[in-house]
Amino acid sequence: MSFSRRTAQLLHEDHQATVAVIESLDQLIAKARKKAPDISDPKVQKTLKNAGGAIEEEISQHFAFEENELFTRLEDMGDVGIGEHLRSEHRALLPLGQSVAELARDALANGFTDESWPKFRNVAAELIERMLAHIQKEEMALLPALEDLLDAETDMELSTAYADTH
């Protein structure tokens, strides 16, 4: 998707980056299945490094921005349901993202054990499923709505403030 509002475009680029990380995580799990992946493999290392950094960063900054600056504006317009639902998804995603990031960093430092791999796999699988559905909803219902929700001046203010947090 492409958007005329800069704020929507920045959030869309965040989504693209997150989907890339989530997809590589998905492939890692699909390929390894029950057997823990080889931590010395550079591809595995790259995926875990991204999972350890990008997801957590995306979740904390991106979610906070949406909740504080966008959902409130949607709700002021009377469009309550979608913002409320996305907020509840954030509540589910936040601990999952933090947990995956923590487990990925631990795996990079110490490798996977028979106990840590199934735990990582289960938490990451839930994160993948929830995150993809969440991004699909935001791409369809939130970002296009910003075209009407934000005037040019507000768009510039918000997008500049958001870009500065990255």
Partner 1 sequence: MNIPGSFLGGAQDRLLPASIPFRFFLSASVFHVLAWAVLFLAADDLAGYRGGTGLVLAAIHLATLGVLVMTAIGASYQLLPVVTRRPMARNWPTRLSFWLLLPGICAMTWGMATNALGAMSLGSYLVTLGLFVFAVLTADNLRRTGGIPEVSAHVWLALVALAVFVLIGLLLIRDLETGFLADHQGLALVHMIVASFGFMGLLVLGLSLVLIPMFVLSRSLPARPGWAQAGLSVLALTGFSTGVIFDVPPLQWLALAPGFAAAACYLWLMRMALKTSMRKRLGLPFVLMRASWGLLVLTLVMGALTLTNIGIPNGPALTGFLLVAGWLLTFLTGVLQRIMPFLASMHVADESGLPPLLSDLSAEGPLKIHAVCHLAALAACSFGILLDLTLLVQVGAALGCVGAVAFAGSAGYVATKLKRQASSN
137 binds partner 1 (CB under 8 A): yes
118 binds partner 1 (CB under 8 A): no
- How far is Cα 129 from Cα 155, in angstroms, rounded to an integer? 31
Binding pattern for the stretch 45-84 against partner 1, x by CB under 8 A and - elsewhere: --------------------------------xxxxxx-x
Residue indicated by tokens 């904390």: 60
Can you give the C-alpha Rg of the chain in angstroms?
17
Residue among 13, 38, 41, 129 that touches partner 1 (CB under 8 A): 129
152 binds partner 1 (CB under 8 A): no
Closer by beta carbon to partner 1, 133 or else 161: 133
- For 94, the token pair is 């936040």
Helix (H) or strand (E) holding 56: helix 42-57
C-alpha separations of 71 from 40, 84, 85 in Å:
43, 8, 10
- For 27, the token pair is 């492939």
Q: Shortest approach of partner 1 to residue 89 CB, angstroms?
A: 5
> Which candidate, 70, 83, 49, places its Cα nearest to that of 7?
70
Span from 15-23, 58-66, 103-111, 112-120 in contact with partner 1 (CB under 8 A): 15-23
Closer by beta carbon to partner 1, 104 or else 143: 143
Are residues 101 and 52 in contact, defined by beta-carbon separation less than 8 angstroms?
Answer: yes
Chain residues binding partner 1 by CB under 8 A are 1-2, 15-16, 19-20, 23, 26-27, 30, 77-82, 84-85, 88-89, 91-92, 126, 129-130, 132-133, 135-137, 139-141, 144-145, 147-148
